[in-house]
Amino acid sequence: MKRRHTFALLTAGTLAGTAIAGAPAVAAPSNSAATGQVVTGGTPLNARSGPSASSPKTGTVPNGSTVSIVCKLAGEFISGTVKNTGYWDRLTDNTYISDAYVQRTGADLPKCTATTSLPAVSGVWMLPVTAGLISGFRTAERPAHDGVDLGAARNTPIRAASAGTVIRVVCNVSRGSCDVDGNRTLSGCGWYAEVQHPGNVVTRYCHMVRRPSVTVSQTVARGSILGYVGTSGSSSGPHLHFEVHAGVPATRDNAISPIAFMKARGLTIR
């Protein structure tokens, strides 16, 4: 009888020179814990946001692809084409594929810790990326800057800072397309998404590399991937422009400091 496969997930930036559906190929980083080859027998392997087949899917990995693996985590038991195992491999963009479909050689993978390669988390909130502050909220130099700029690399996953509902998915640029790199001669946030959270708090995530991965009215959990860092719109280089608003709709008048907001929740932007 033909074995019924349960597939796992992957997202941008995790393959060593192999394209992921909907994302450009990115070379494997030199500090990867290990590499492995996806073996499914022909069907693309799903990549997921957590170590189970029920976790949200963010992309697919073609059979035969090489992936960069940071660590392994115990999760849903899967009977795969390579082995039967309950371990899942965390890739370099913090997504997971079942180790049941990965052929590896060499030393065994280290086990993931609770914070391995993940943005800081506190209570029901987390930072959307792990990156340093490169421009603050309404500084003397940029008094009209209604958020903070976090210096994450191109194709870094942007995660929902808390659970909520997606209320906007927008291309906002003064001319041209959001599907190309922007520059400072333009105005607008490029590709961006907004999420409404309990208490009518809204978070905004700007300058994505391509159309956000979510749709309007979609419910997202804390940590769900909304899109990927880019430099669309009014931007001089890849980064995440992150805003917090105390009201719906999000306007200039109800923008508040993300630094102060996150600090009150035990999280530090610096």
Query: 162 is in which domain, residue-wise?
Result: 121-263
Q: Is residue 269 part of a domain?
A: no
Instruction: State whether 131 and 235 are in the same domain.
Output: yes
Task: Report the relative pairing of strands 148-150 and 240-246 from DSSP bridges.
Answer: antiparallel
Mean pLDDT of the chain, nearest integer? 83
- The closest alpha carbon to 215, from 197, 206, 227, belongs to 227
For 188-199, the pLDDT digits (tens) are 999 999 999 988
For 82-123, the pLDDT digits (tens) are 999 989 998 876 778 999 999 987 778 888 765 455 566 666
Instruction: State whether 188 and 213 are in the same domain.
Output: yes
Instruction: State whether 128 and 114 are in the same domain.
Output: no
DSSP alpha helix (H) spans, 162-247:
none
Q: Is pLDDT of 17 > 50?
A: no
Last residue of a domain, one of 103, 118, 133: 118
Q: Is residue 67 part of a domain?
A: yes
Local confidence band at 15 (pLDDT 50, 70, 90 cut-offs):
very low
Average pLDDT over residues 147-153: 96
- Write the DSSP string, 6-27: ------TT-BBS-PBTTB--BP
Residue type, 261: F
Q: What is residue 210's predicted lDDT score, i.e. its pLDDT?
A: 97
Q: Is pLDDT of 230 > 90?
A: yes
Instruction: State whether 76 and 143 are in the same domain.
Output: no
pTM above 0.85, yes or no: no
CATH number, domain with residue 71: 2.30.30.40
